[in-house]
Structure 1
Amino acid sequence: MKAEVSIMLDQRYLNILIPVDGSKEAELALDKAIAVTLRNGNNAHLHILHVIDTRAFQNVSSFDTSMVEEVSETAKKTLDSYVEKAKTAGITNVSYTIEYGSPKAIIAKEAPKAVNADLIMIGATGLNTVERILIGSVTEYVTRVADIDVLVVRTK
């Protein structure tokens, strides 16, 4: 029993994935992910992920590629500011990715494999009860399906 406890105390998360969507919940999770990355030492890597849900464009009748480019450019500016925030806090190993597709599948399965993540830190859902029932919470899905540890951030 004592050996098991010491192994758990020595565990470090070296590849932390933080999905962000511009919400207050995601920014709160980013702040905590920065702190966790710093606590896990110089070898820890913070990987920031933004997923552009392409399904949102399927219902737009006047869809054109400039819409996707505009959304991508806005995401890039936001992610650049997040990287700068992490660097200012003292993180040297920080990067970001913009992906396109279903946020649930990408955050829970694809991105963790791509970046060799050992922890996903994700903000609690901003959806109300009806929205969660109708479309489902990304956070809920990730906590249920991911193969690695998931930490749901709810508080400051």
Structure 2
Amino acid sequence: MRSILIPVDGSKHALSAVKHAISIVQDGIPAHIHVINVQPVIIPLSDFYDYELIEKAQHDEAERALQSACKLLDKAGIKYSKAVKIGAIASTIIDYGKSHKCGWIIMGTRGMGSLSSLIMGSTSNRVIHLAKIPVTLVK
């Protein structure tokens, strides 16, 4: 059985990647889906920041990003694993894929909002260059 990794950020492009993976599985290609949200490392510039508050905010953001993807997979009756990681986004996606023996990455071309779309566009570009497995970009 093939393992497919889908990085999500809650954007419409990420959800399109999930829908694409669902159609692949429904077309008869057996696969286990791994849905991952990677939160960037945040380095507080001062001791006045509450680290626990920052971690909670990142966890909440990750759960929001995963929620819509998981609902689509649940509705389609497709088995999946979900994960939240913190790190450099592209390399964390690649590392997760390697450690879980994923054979394919399907991801959106852009992320949330205008600034984030630049980041996600840059992330998808980095993933393509770092990956040793096929990467499909979905609009």
What is the TM-score of this pair, normalised by structure 1? 0.73
Q: Tell me the residue number matched to 2:89.
A: 103
- The residue type equivalent to 2:104 in the other structure is L
Aligned residue runs from structure 1 range 1-156, under 5 A: 14-41=2-29, 43-54=30-41, 57-58=42-43, 61=46, 62-91=49-78, 93-107=79-93, 109-126=94-111, 137-154=122-139
Superposition RMSD in Å: 2.7
* Structure with max Cα Rg: 1
SS for the counterpart of 2:125 is helix
Q: Structure 1, residues 84-125: CA drift from partner, whole Å, max 9, x if none? A: 32021121x211010110001011x20111221111001113
Whether the aligned pair in 2 keeps the contact of 1:14 and 1:37 (CA below 8 Å) is no
Q: How far off its partner does 1:76 sit?
A: 2.3
5+ residue gaps, structure 2? none
Count of residues in correspondence between the two structures: 135
What is the TM-score of this pair, normalised by structure 2? 0.81
CA shift in 2, pair 1:99/1:135, >3 Å: closer
5+ residue gaps, structure 1? 1-12
Whether the aligned pair in 1 keeps the contact of 2:8 and 2:15 (CA below 8 Å) is yes
What is the percentage of aligned positions where both structures have the same residue?
28
